[in-house]
Structure 1
Amino acid sequence: MISKLHIENILFLDIETVPETEYYSELDDTKQQLWEHKSQYQRRDEYTAEAFYERAGIWAEFGKIICISVGYFKMEGDIRTFRVTSFYGDEVKILKDFKNLLLTHFSSNKHLLCAHNGKEFDFPYIARRMIIHNIELPYKLNLFGKKPWEVPHLDTLELWKFGDYKTYTSLKLLTNVLGIPSPKDDIDGSEVYRVYYKDQEIDRIITYCEKDTIAVAQIFLRLRGDDLLHDNEIIHV
């Protein structure tokens, strides 16, 4: 039961991704053909492969990570804090810095990673991008040969499903129905491509990513029956 988990052993996270290049035309001919084939089912006849390219960031083979935000709880007596930080910039550096965090602070068997829809998106996306960049997978992301109960991952979407596999509940919807305060967002996921490539405002994306990481932690607290975080308990480092 999640109520028995030691909350300081959990690393909460969220990632933001964009297409690997700003424009479809920057892909070589082979990659364009592969993208056209890969996206055929999703776009059907409504969009050309080029028009649909802004959405390429959701596939690790055609996208890249521009921000990983992480958060963890720190308990000092009766004082609880939640510390949030972000890795951003060059993707290889992002991945290596995140890996170093796992190796130095979240490497033991007791440590877990937690994200919303993390098992379907965040965790495999990070692992695939590491492999693409020839970065050896850390233990927490290397699932080869592991039994289901040995996988050190928590997923707030999966926890909310209670065994129901027929539906998807977004982070925004879940915070709403659980009564979790959600500050007015400057951007949403559909705008990350524009803010990154057109506006070149990575700080806005970092803020958005950190808000989602905090929201994941809040959902986890709510599912445990714990008190939600107050603003004065959240520390950005």
Structure 2
Amino acid sequence: MNIKVQLKDDLTRYHPLLTPGVVGYTTDRNPINDCFVYVQFYSIRTPQNILWKSLTIIDEEYLEEKRKKREMMIESLKENGNVELHWHHNGSFKKLSYQYRNKKNKRHFFCNCFSDLSAELYAEMRKAGIKVREFGVPQDAVAYRFNRDYYNDILNRREERWRAIVSTGEAVVEWNRNGGYERVDLTYIWKDEHKTETFLKREKGMKLLLELQNDNVSIYHIGDPQYRNKRMLGL
């Protein structure tokens, strides 16, 4: 499909006529990958391989058709959709996937791995009240860039969790035969559910123990910690 577009970035380092504001249309020629598109600019003889994020779509007919399709998709997602937001183990964005059935009962499935577009879709889904299941935990900075309201939700859940830990929690820390750190098991009640979290890494476990001590949460020891661990915890 040929879509009328306008260049918004200065790309004169690639071609002297690739200046901001130059207008053209997309072509059917296959680009390097989905991040790029070949554009035939009116002022340049040969099509240019351009990043989508460097372009602004100014095709009114295309934008109107896209708006209608988006509205239909949102309505279908509200009725029978399934939306999942996935994060990598390192906290970076992985994908936003969603599926639904339209009015003709035809199943549609989409998987979007572009953070910017996924953030735009997520904002619309959130506004429409569509439930989004989450898998993994994002880094704070990544979540903040993705969606400000989503980031605030994370902060609120974190505060609610900690209040539940302070009011109902207790921890059991295990030390090995040499007094070294083994693990911390943390149990508490949050939203009428019994929660259990295990911390196997010493750095995270010791940090947790210090925070629990500061808020007077009960801590039980199995074994005797070595001198440096006692000193760190003020025992």
TM-score w.r.t. the length of structure 1 is 0.28
Q: Of the two, which has the highest radius of gyration?
A: 2
Indicate the structure with greater helix content: 1
Relative to total residues, which structure has the larger strand share, 1 or 2? Answer: 2
Normalising by structure 2, we get a TM-score of: 0.29
Q: Which has the higher contact order (CA 8 A, sep 6+)?
A: 1
